Each structure stands twice: as C-alpha cells, then as structure tokens.
Amino acid sequence: MTATELKPRPRLPEWLRIKLPTSDAFAHTRALLDELKLHTVCESAQCPNHWECWSKGTATFMIAGDRCTRACGFCAVTTAKPFALEADEPARVAEATRRMWLKHVVITAVARDDLPDGGAEHFRRTIEAVRALNPGIVIEVLVPDFNDRDESIDTVLSANPHIFNHNLETVRRLAPSVRHRATYDRSLSVLGKVKGKRGGNIYTKSGLMLGLGEKEEELLSAMEDLRGVGCDILTLGQYLQPTLKHLPVVEFIPPAKFAEYKQVAERMGFAHVASGPRVRSSYHADEFKLPALPSDCGWVDSAPEPA
C-alpha cells in the first residue's frame, strides 16, 4: 500500500474523536496569531489537538516560514521553495509569548535545506528574543536535523534552550519511506551530539508515531536506541493521515497499549514519558517540570522552581 493509492481513510475510533471547543479563547488565540503574522505547526501540520490548545491560550510557533524543503510522507506542511527569512519574526514570536503569558514555549521550524545553516541562527535569535521579553520562561525547541552539522547544532545550543527536541518519528525499517532526506541514524546522531556537548545541563527529547506498520519489537528497539544516546523525554502518539496523498494509517493503537508502552519506557530510564493516541511532540509539553539543575548550566537561574 502506498500513499498514492488514494484509498479512503478509515473511520476514527471513539478514543480519537474530539468535541470542538465553544469558548472565546480559541478566537482570541487565532486573532493574536493573525495580528502578529505568525505560523504554528498546530495549523500547518493539521494537528488534531489545535482546537484544544488554542482554547487554552497556547500554541507551538513555527518559525522560518510555512514552506518546507522536505516532503515527508506523514507531514501536512507544504513542500515548496521557501521565502526569505523575516528579520522581525523573532521579535513577533517573543511578543506573542508575552501576550499569551506562556510559562513554557515550544518553538519549531520547517526544514530549511536551502540555508547554509539550516535556519540555526534564526532559532538562536528567536530563543534570545523570547527570553529577553519573558524572563523565567521555559524554552523548548523542536528542530530539524540540520543535516547533522555541528556548527548548526552549536548555534542553537549557544542560546541555551532548556529542552532540545528532535523527533525520530518512526522505527528504523520504516524510516526511508516515512521521512524525506532525514535518516534514522542521523537523528540519533543529532540527539547524541547535544548530550555530548551539554550533558546533564540540557534535556533532550524525541517522539515516535505509532500505527504506521511498526512491530512492537521494532518500537522497543527504537526506544532503546534513544536511551542509548541519552534521550531524556519521550513522546508516543498515534499517526493520523492528514490527506489521502499521505501515508495511510496501518493500525489504530488502543489507549491501553499506549499506557503499556509508557510503563516500558519509564523502566528504560526516560525522565518523562507522554504516551497516548492524541499525544504529539508539544502536546501538554509544560507537564514536564524541570528538576533542579547544576548551577553552572548557564540558564538555571531563569528556570522555574521545580514543582
């Protein structure tokens, strides 16, 4: 079965159906994002949780435009030649986080293989702008692989984000058909380099989509590979086919199975695990409370007190 067969999408199981919110908060978030001309992965990637998140006054900001240079088989973000970076975008993201009173912000981006640094400097400027306007905010970045370039990784790390997230997305066997240009081993390398450079002074995070046809032993192996490079935080969620042109859902994983995988991951040593059908990389990201960190980490003084 391929993504081009255009077979009808299967009916969603009951546990994946949601009720649309009726509060004014959703419209307020929409208006704010429109006013500041900001993109969100919530909307561009057709996240099923964006109704809930926007109604709670939060969103995942997507910088460097809404056109991606890659064409992953699972992702709804538009693949096209990107526009030039907007120099004032970091300031606009910072202003949005201020107006939304965010205590934890997630900043992601499209893949920008057209740029020499993959957009790393734009990440750095955005992190610094957000921190300058929002002292004490927890900053999580969800980055592309930057083609595993050390200089790009170092640029992002120089801005001292609290959490460095890069998704493995799927198991090794399925990676070539699921991810365009990205590779399984390159993603592990990026996460491993971050830990090697910063050790216990930064949290690394990664996520996997389930229901693409992976076998349980393959999933467990991927989780072990992530722990092998020191990954601290894991998210496991159900893959949903955004359009008929994208990869089909092979299986809907029941909530009980997600709960079982959560227990397995915790036994492996992950510091925090979010596992459930509706879980996405940044869904309820603020539920991870930063424990106390060494005083020489470079940013602990601005981090919130442990819960």
What are the pLDDT digits (tens) for 69-83?
998 887 878 889 999
Q: Write the CB contacts of 90 (distance below 8 Å, at least 6 apart in sequence).
A: 63, 122, 125, 126, 128, 129, 130
Count Cβ atoms below 10 Å from residue 244 Cβ, excluding itself: 13
Position 32 confidence tier, pLDDT thresholds 50, 70, 90: confident
Position 41 confidence tier, pLDDT thresholds 50, 70, 90: low
Q: Cα dihedral sign for 69, 156, 41, 177?
A: positive
pLDDT (0 to 100) of residue 242 = 81
Distances (CA, A) of 199 to 174, 232, 241, 275: 30, 11, 36, 25
Q: What is the mean pLDDT of residues 41-65?
A: 62
pLDDT exceeds cutoff 50 at 298? no
User: What does pLDDT average to over the chain?
Assistant: 85
Domain 24-288, CATH: 3.20.20.70
pLDDT (0 to 100) of residue 5 = 52
pLDDT (0 to 100) of residue 51 = 47
DSSP 37: T
pLDDT in tens, 77-108: 888 999 999 999 999 999 999 998 888 899 99
Q: What is the mean pLDDT of residues 56-69?
A: 82
In this predicted model, which residue has the larger pLDDT, 224 or 54?
A: 224
pLDDT (0 to 100) of residue 125 = 98
Q: Cα dihedral sign for 77, 99, 106, 279?
A: negative
With tokens 């202003």, the residue in question is: 95
Q: Which two three-digit tokens encode residue 136?
A: 């004490």
Distances (CA, A) of 30 to 50, 55, 165, 255: 11, 9, 25, 31
Rounded-to-integer distance, Cα 303 and Cα 272, Å: 18
pLDDT (0 to 100) of residue 180 = 85
Q: What is the percent of the chain where pLDDT is above 90?
A: 61
pLDDT in tens, 133-190: 999 899 999 999 999 999 999 999 999 999 999 999 999 999 999 998 899 999 999 9
Rounded-to-integer distance, Cα 65 and Cα 231, Å: 28
Position 302 confidence tier, pLDDT thresholds 50, 70, 90: very low
pLDDT in tens, 223-270: 999 999 999 999 999 998 888 888 999 999 999 999 999 999 999 999
Rounded-to-integer distance, Cα 198 and Cα 18, Å: 40
pLDDT in tens, 197-223: 998 899 999 999 999 999 999 999 999
- Tell me how many helices (H) and strands (E) the chain has: 10, 10
CB burial of residue 243 (10 Å; 0-12, 13-18, 19+): exposed
pLDDT (0 to 100) of residue 77 = 81
pLDDT (0 to 100) of residue 129 = 97
